[in-house]
Amino acid sequence: MPGLGQELYRKARKRIPGGTQLLSKRPEMLLPEQWPTYYSRASGSQIWDLDGNRYVDMSYSGIGSCILGYADPDVDAAVHAAIDTGSMSTLNCAEEVDLADLLCEIHPWAEMVRYARGGGDAMAVAVRIARAHTRRDKVAFCGYHGWHDWYLAANVGSNNALGDHLLPGLAPNGVPRQLAGTAFPFHYNRIDELKAIVQVHGKELAAIVMEPIRNQLPQDGFLQEVREIANRNGSVLIFDEVTSAWRLNSGGAHLIYGVSPDIAVFAKAISNGYPMAAIIGTGTVMQAAQQSFISSTYWTERIGPAAALATIKKHRVRNVSARLLSTGKKIQAAWQSAAEQTGLALTVSGIPPLAHFSLHAEDAQAARTLFTQLMLERGFLASNAFYATYAQSDEDIEQYSAAVMEAFRELAQATETDTVKKLLKGPVAHVGFFRLT
Ligand SMILES: Cc1ncc(COP(=O)(O)O)c(C=O)c1O
């Protein structure tokens, strides 16, 4: 089965340290030595690999970026228009002002907007603004926020402070050791942990950074209490909506909970696969962006804002989040029912548009790897996470659910007979960050 993709990847590992530009796209994270790895074409819910094999993508959908589906015709038309009229020039593009207006209309608490092109970069901008505004250095945070120094500083001298925040083992080599003791993690729904950080670092805390929602629902009053703590402590509350936004509603997920941050950050799904990120905030806090040098050439190009305007427009007109919710619920139900019918022990979690399951097996990671292998054989890109898109059809959902049933049946048998590893055609997938040898 391993074809041209694996052949190219072997070459890539010699040329590109770590093999890929994003940890989540390493084939070792999905199905080592088997994963198709590279694509030749992507359209709607489908991807073709270098050998011309076609798969329905029921996994990460461009790692959460292509919320409308691949090569969406409406977004692509806006992008083509931006290209045809010049995507870059010495002057600025008007679309960035239109987009700022639109984002502030959707989020009425926000008054000003800056842009970047990646999620982690935009989060670094947000933290810089918070530090400039408060003239403080330290940050309390919950969840994953990218690759930048301010965040990885949490692992300097501790190595696993970030272990519970999506990706274990993020190595902070190259991050100045002097940044040790500047970033402090707390767990979602653990207000006591945030309070403990505030008690120790109180008036040095520039920002509280978190996703308003991700794998768990907020407990009653949790987000409100975080807001109150930030107010009392004079810290900037930053909601990282890089992954959570546009899934449950046409905007930031925080709108649903009625808790407004001082800054919210969008990327990924805001522009359906084209590089774009927005940092929105209250006028008072955002003005601090003028007291710090935050400036980059490609943050001015036209494709990103044009794609974002088209994506948001379609998202609102088509009520995309309602479709994502219904698809996610069907997928979660399909996992649950297939598990019950085949006797496989698993737990389903996550908001429906960003659904997950975890297998309860002796070697759960080997079992998850075998699931990916069995699904690939059936024409699906699949893992234990499912990111819903508007392009996944009812037929995709039905065929995927049927394939899950077959795969779970084989998996249940393999777990019972202790043959999971024997059935794997390659090594077990990695969990978290590893240096590739
Ligand atoms: C919540 C959150 N913040 C930040 C990032 C980083 O975004 P990017 O990979 O675009 O730098 C991610 C990416 O997964 C994310 O999920």
Q: If you write DSSP's letter for every residue of 29-55 in order, what string do you get?
A: HH-TTTS---EEEEEBTEEEETT--EE
What three-state secondary structure class fits 418? coil
pLDDT at 432: 73
Instruction: Decide: 271 in ligand 1 pocket, CB within 6 A.
Output: no
Measured CA to CA, the distance from residue 125 to residue 137 in angstroms comes to: 14
Instruction: Decide: 412 in ligand 1 pocket, CB within 6 A.
Output: no
What three-state secondary structure class fits 235? coil
Measured CA to CA, the distance from residue 344 to residue 341 in angstroms comes to: 8
What three-state secondary structure class fits 387? strand
Atom 7 (ligand 1): residue with closest C-alpha?
119
Measured CA to CA, the distance from residue 29 to residue 434 in angstroms comes to: 10
What three-state secondary structure class fits 230? helix
- Counting as low any pLDDT under 50, the low residues of the chain are none
pLDDT at 170: 81
Measured CA to CA, the distance from residue 114 to residue 120 in angstroms comes to: 14
Place of tokens 């700022």: 100
Atom 3 (ligand 1): residue with closest C-alpha?
145
Instruction: Decide: 275 in ligand 1 pocket, CB within 6 A.
Output: no
R_g (Cα) of the chain, nearest Å: 22
Nearest partner of 139 among 64, 38, 208, judged by Cα = 208
pLDDT at 167: 66
Nearest partner of 335 among 318, 320, 352, 314, judged by Cα = 352
CA of 310 to the centre of ligand 1 (A): 22
Atom 10 (ligand 1): residue with closest C-alpha?
119
The number of residues in the chain equals 437
Q: Kind and range of the H or E element at 326? A: helix 320-342
SS (HEC) of 185-216:
ECCCCCHHHHHHHHHHHHHHEEEEEECCCCCC
CA of 258 to the centre of ligand 1 (A): 23
Q: Kind and range of the H or E element at 114? A: strand 112-116
For residues 76 and 280, is the Cβ–Cβ distance under 8 A? no
**Closest ligand 1 atom number to CA of residue 147:** 11
DSSP for 51-106, please give it.
Answer: T--EEEE-S-TTTTT-TT-BT-HHHHHHHHHHHHT-S--SSPPTHHHHHHHHHHHH
CA of 243 to the centre of ligand 1 (A): 7
Instruction: Decide: 119 in ligand 1 pocket, CB within 6 A.
Output: yes
For residues 131 and 108, is the Cβ–Cβ distance under 8 A? no
Nearest partner of 98 among 122, 115, 81, judged by Cα = 115
For residues 146 and 411, is the Cβ–Cβ distance under 8 A? no
Measured CA to CA, the distance from residue 118 to residue 268 in angstroms comes to: 7
Instruction: Decide: 44 in ligand 1 pocket, CB within 6 A.
Output: no
Atom 8 (ligand 1): residue with closest C-alpha?
119
CA of 67 to the centre of ligand 1 (A): 15
Measured CA to CA, the distance from residue 87 to residue 301 in angstroms comes to: 6
